[in-house]
Amino acid sequence: MTYVFSQFLKLIALSVTCFICLSLMFVPLVRAEAVDVKIEYWIEKMQPSVLSKAEMRKELEWFKQASKDFRGKTIKSVAEDIKTHHWERDVLAQAFFDITGIKVEHKVIGEGAVVEALLRQMSSGKNRYDIYVNDADLVGTHLRTNGVVNLTDYMAHEGRAYTNPRLDLKDFLNLEFGQDYDGSQLQLPDQQFANLYWFRYDWFSRADIKAKFRLYSIEKYGVEGAYDLGVPLNWAAYEDIAEFFTNTLIDGKKVYGHLDYGKKSPSLGWRFTDSWLSIAGVGDKGLPNGIPVDEWGIRVENRVPVGSSVRRGGATNGPAAVYALTKYIEWLEKYAPPESKDWRWFDAGPKAARGDIAQRIFQYITWLSDDDFTRPDSKMLDSQGKPVWRVAPTPHGRYWEEGMKVGYQDAGSWTIPKSVRGQKRSAAWLWAQFCVSKSVSLKKFLIGGTPIRKSTLESEYVQKHKQNWGGMIDFYTSGEEKRWTDSGLNVPHYPLLSRIWWPYLDRAIKGQLTPQEAMDAIARAQDRQMSKMKLVKYSPQLNVLRERSYWLNRQGAPKAHRERQKPKTMSYEDLLKQWQQ
């Protein structure tokens, strides 16, 4: 009996042991089944990221859970034709579908077409797209028409359950670009790119070229007025450098001291409305935009536009604006490749990479990620694969004053028309947040070069490789970046007013109008258009006409005529030290 009992106990012990072993073998299988294979796949595809893989997993799991009611739904979004948005369409839309089950038709079209589509949708109430990546230049329009979702209110109430707890708005570089006067977020940045001065650092650093430039400046200004080749701080120096390179063979080859575009198209208007007048010094002091006068020469008082013409207190046809157009035409004629008159914004974007351009005063940095700049055999890379070019602050025009904005930043921003409601609105908001999430933002920057987050620029990966961006990272991580802003709130209706510019600019380029006549016509047309606007908020109320002298003799914009500046340059190395202070 004792023997039987002992054998029975052994059998029980053996059974328990087997059960424990089988259980331990089964645990990994259970855990493996719990892993979302698609999320794990995209975690690997989105490397490098500013988040750890564990943090990415939590964020992507949130998107999966938050979207469970929308699986099988389709939303439509649209954005302008740059590399960043092609990657969103080709890669991020698939990732979002795999994780959330929401299909995104992300269409990429010209910027002008995006604006026109949004205008038609807001006017008709018929939904063509559920969400737009629309330039924050339209924030003044959205404020006054009250036609888009106030994202601050949405995140706090209706959209609270669909707002990523890891969105971290404080991490964005320039939320202010999409905010109204009271700080409410009308648009959320998806990509942004500054417009900076670009130059051939390798040429500017060569002793033989520097010596030739010194002789050139002595011949032009005498020994006392001579100065060294360097980053131009003002338009006078930029003009001299343009003349020098255009008339100097580099290694026996013809080069050009300026790059621009001048074909009749909507993008010709952008060449000016993207802060060219502000860079010349047309406006008043103030950030992100001058008060009471800044973008497009429009004067705003108590949030209400009151005029473009000098006779109404505006500056669109003042001496500074005429100077801005005069120099644009003069440099295009004298120092740019002859064929540039037939280029549009899109055509001219990557042209500096062809190897015969010394500098460009108005370089949208999104183009620096173009394959012409980055492929292994590019003329823009040295023997170590590093860029031979650099970017630096935009030189000032003669009317510019300390305290004004310095340059332009394009900020394509997620914008939801109020006509989009219910599940479509919620799903569109999830898609927008996915595209700006910390999980994907670093990878998106590496593809398109359009950063929106501080964490991207401060990441270990970017800081380790920052030489690959030719000064762009130094710019964005400096305090100077805040002085490059978008068009701001004083433009009351971007789509209607932007149509005015390019036909008159084209006539000026062709010599059919003088610069003064062209700017007079633009100012009159803007005032005429603004006088007809009946908007929901802050509709224009034009000032009475006065003599030009009444306004030109007052302090601030519009500003009276000024003489040419003394040219000034700075070495790039000294400039970097300033940025790092």
> What are the 10-residue block averages of pLDDT along the chain, 581 residues in total?
44 45 42 73 97 98 97 97 96 98 97 91 92 96 96 97 98 96 97 96 98 97 96 98 98 98 94 94 94 94 97 98 98 98 93 97 93 94 95 96 95 97 97 98 96 97 95 92 93 94 98 98 98 96 97 96 96 87 72
74's CB contacts (< 8 A; 6+ apart) are 102, 103, 104, 105
Cβ–Cβ < 8 Å for 276, 461: no
HEC readout, 412-438: EEEECECCCCHHHHHHHHHHHHHHHCH
Cβ–Cβ < 8 Å for 410, 192: yes
Beta bridge partners of 194: 409
Distances (CA, A) of 115 to 80, 85, 124, 493: 9, 16, 14, 11
CA distance 171 to 375: 31
Is residue 45 one of the residues assigned to a domain? Answer: yes
Domain assignment of residue 416, given as a range: 38-191+412-485
With 0-12 / 13-18 / 19 or more C-beta atoms within 10 angstroms meaning exposed / middle / buried, residue 3 is exposed
State residue 225 phi and psi, 5-degree precision.
-95, 0
With contact defined as beta carbons under 8 Å apart, do 190 and 413 qualify? yes
Residue 87 lies in a domain: yes
Tell me how far CA of residue 495 lies from CA of 77, 138, 141, 401, 416, in angstroms: 19, 8, 8, 29, 17
**The residue type at 385:** G
Instruction: Indicate whether 357 belongs to any domain.
Output: no
Residue 201 lies in a domain: no
441 within a domain of the structure (yes/no)? yes
Structure tokens at 363: 């370089």
Cβ-in-10-Å burial (0-12, 13-18, 19+) of 409 comes to buried
CA quadruple 221, 226, 229, 234: dihedral sign: negative
Ramachandran sector of residue 511 (left: φ over 0; alpha: ψ -120 to 50; beta: rest): left
Please tell me the distance from the alpha carbon of residue 510 to that of residue 516, in angstroms, as a whole number.
Answer: 14
E strand intervals along 85-150: 103-109, 131-135
Query: 525 Cβ partners below 8 Å, 6+ apart?
Result: 500, 504
Burial class (CB in 10 A: 0-12, 13-18, 19+), 69: exposed
Considering the entire predicted model, what is its pTM?
A: 0.90
Query: What pLDDT is attached to residue 307?
Result: 98
> 454 and 442 in contact (C-beta within 8 Å)?
no
User: How high is the pLDDT of residue 9?
Assistant: 41
Residue given tokens 């009351």 in the structure block: 492
Place of tokens 């013809």: 254
H/E stretch holding 77:
strand 74-80
Query: Residue ranges of the alpha helices (H) in 318-453?
Result: 319-334, 345-348, 371-374, 422-436, 438-448
C-alpha 131/C-alpha 416 separation (Å) is: 5
Contacts of 524 by beta carbon, 8 Å cutoff, 6+ apart: 309
The pLDDT assigned to 464 comes to: 96
Domain presence at residue 180: yes
**Tally of domains in the chain:** 1
DSSP state of 256: B
Give the HSE-up count for residue 453: Cα atoms under 13 Å, Cβ half-sphere: 27
Task: Say if CB 335 and CB 342 are below 8 A apart.
Answer: no
CA atoms within 13 A on the CB side of 375: 9
Where do we find the tokens 């479509």? 424
Answer yes or no: is 132 within a domain. yes
Domain containing residue 457: CATH number: 3.40.190.10
Peptide bond into 417 cis (omega under 30): no
Residues in the chain: 581
**What is the chain's alpha carbon radius of gyration, rounded to the nearest angstrom?**
28
| Residue at 338 is within a domain | no
